[in-house]
Structure 1
Amino acid sequence: MAGLTLCRGGTKICPVESNELTTQAQALRAAGRTPKQIARELGITRAVATNLVRGVAAARPKRVRPSELPLVGCWISRQWSNGLTIAQRPADWIDDKKLPRMAMGAGLVSLVVARADGDAVTICGFLVDTYCLGVKNALPPTTTEAAAWPYFVDDYFQAYDSGPIEAPIELARHLTFGAVDYAHSLGFDPHRDFYSAAPYLGTWEPPSRITFGLNGKPYFQQGPHDNPDRIVRTLNRSVGPGNYEFTIVSL
């Protein structure tokens, strides 16, 4: 506020008192007061109160976007590309060389992205149904100590027979956002926690290089928390009977 002359009820305020007013305005604004209420409580004009609030806001450090945080790493479960077609596949979009039909991990892919966040690491995770439903589950941003994130990643993939593959962040975007777009076209929305985790993947620019569905055709594999009747009804409306495949567990 140096060099700025404020007025309290028509009286000039020196820089020292101006700094005190800034502190008071900051406290009142943090308490939820409007500029009009701040002006009344401090005995200043509303315009001055507004300038003080703006000055406080301008002095705060700029919040870094999640996608601007340094990337620690990105990992994806094996068999992620099983049954998918990839246009002009980049050389670093690797997967197991042998992809037997419906091997473990086919069509249901786990993905983790980790970014440095100060002295800690923030991790997000996604469970992606690449054949039908898109993002079925997501781990919202979770911050852990820098030394602990490798153990966190290991735990995330512990259900698989073998460890994950390190993947480029571009692959993570094309797989996750692309699967969400595909599921939307079939009538399905992503898990609610997808929206808080997605910014850590970076900005999405469709279309995806990946053609989703099992060999391009929707294929619903029932999971333990799925409602098969609802999903089949949705597929009947979106693509029509006979235009998708499914496996439903009889109880």
Structure 2
Amino acid sequence: MSPEQILRARSLRAHGYSARQVAKVLGLPRAVTTALFHRPPATDGRMLADGELRACWVSAGWSSGLLVDDRFRWPDPDDAASATPGLAAVLVARSAGRDSVSACGYLIDLYCLGVKDVIGPRVLNDQQHAQFTRAFFAGHRQPPIAAPLELAQQLVLGSARYARSLGFEPAPGFDDVRGHLGEWSGVRAITFGHHGRPEYIQGPYDNAGHVRDTLRGGAADRPASPPVSPSVPAPVDLVAV
């Protein structure tokens, strides 16, 4: 099955279609759709993650407040200013067959909570991919930066590792989009936190009390009262394209 067929089959299944009905709609043998529905959906993401890298973008200003190893020369213009320092967006797209890509987005808190939200994988044609990219970065002051996959890995996987050390797990669905980032060496090139210290940026959907309690109950070298930045507005909802 092609990536488009897999996602279409999952959508039909969610709307109550039987394996036989899905097979008829997609013009596939019933045995194929039956086998698909006996597989956990997480395996779909792993298959889509095998595609060739087509695009990798990060929001401008991602490095604000971070300590980055001087040996790594990753792009972030000197005049780039983030509207929300400590928060960044990463978008990775891989080939998903003829004229299609599979795109995954990651919204990350670099100072404390790690991966706050994930989107995808979404199979899109070139026009839809362009629209999706614009919508995903619409809340940022400057256009996104084309970046090497290594930087995306550092920001997403590195921040997730840092957040776990503080007691926070990645957003639900992270395992479904993890594969788009590829294999990571695990080299620690970025020190997360605001200049190396955890700082909580309160979001509109956060359980702020739980976050503060978790931070206060952590390692002794953390601040007794973790800094709290002003709340940030809710992210713009991305409609299906």
* TM-score normalised by length of structure 2: 0.72
Q: Secondary structure at the match of 2:116?
A: strand
Counterpart pick for 1:183 among 163, 173, 191: 163
User: Given the superposition, is the C-alpha separation of residues 123 and 30 from structure 1 closer, same or farther in structure 2, using an over 3 Å criterion?
Assistant: closer
1:211 matched residue in structure 2: 191
1:247 matched residue in structure 2: 229
Out of 186-195 and 205-214, give the one that drifted further. 205-214
User: Given the superposition, is the C-alpha separation of residues 215 and 30 from structure 1 closer, same or farther in structure 2, using an over 3 Å criterion?
Assistant: closer
User: Given the superposition, is the C-alpha separation of residues 31 and 203 from structure 1 closer, same or farther in structure 2, using an over 3 Å criterion?
Assistant: closer
List aligned pairs for 1:3-152, cutoff 5 A. 65-91=47-73, 93-98=74-79, 103-119=82-98, 120-152=100-132
* TM-score normalised by length of structure 1: 0.69
Query: 1:228 touches 1:248 (CA, 8 Å); kept in 2?
Result: no
1:122, CA displacement in angstroms?
0.6
1:168 matched residue in structure 2: 148
Greater relative CO, 1 or 2 (CA 8 Å, sep 6+): 2
User: Given the superposition, is the C-alpha separation of residues 145 and 247 from structure 1 closer, same or farther in structure 2, using an over 3 Å criterion?
Assistant: same
Displaced runs of 4 or more, over 2 A: 26-32, 63-68, 88-91, 239-244
Query: 1:83 touches 1:215 (CA, 8 Å); kept in 2?
Result: yes
Task: Please give the per-residue CA displacement for 1:37-86, whole angstroms capped at 9, x wherever unaligned.
Answer: xxxxxxxxxxxxxxxxxxxxxxxxxx984443111111111110001111
Out of 158-167 and 130-139, give the one that drifted further. 158-167
1:159, CA displacement in angstroms?
1.1
One-letter code of the match for 2:144?
P
Q: Take 1:216 and 1:156, find their aligned partners in 2: how far apart are those partners?
A: 28
Q: Take 2:79 and 2:31, find their aligned partners in 1: how far apart are those partners?
A: 64
> Aligned-pair RMSD on alpha carbons?
2.4
Out of 176-185 and 203-212, give the one that drifted further. 203-212
Q: Of the two, which has the highest radius of gyration?
A: 1
Alignment: residue pair count: 191
Q: Secondary structure at the match of 2:127?
A: coil
Structure 1 portions without partners, runs of 5+: 1-25, 33-62
1:212, CA displacement in angstroms?
0.1
Q: Secondary structure at the match of 1:159?
A: coil
Identity of aligned residues (%): 34
One-letter code of the match for 2:65?
G
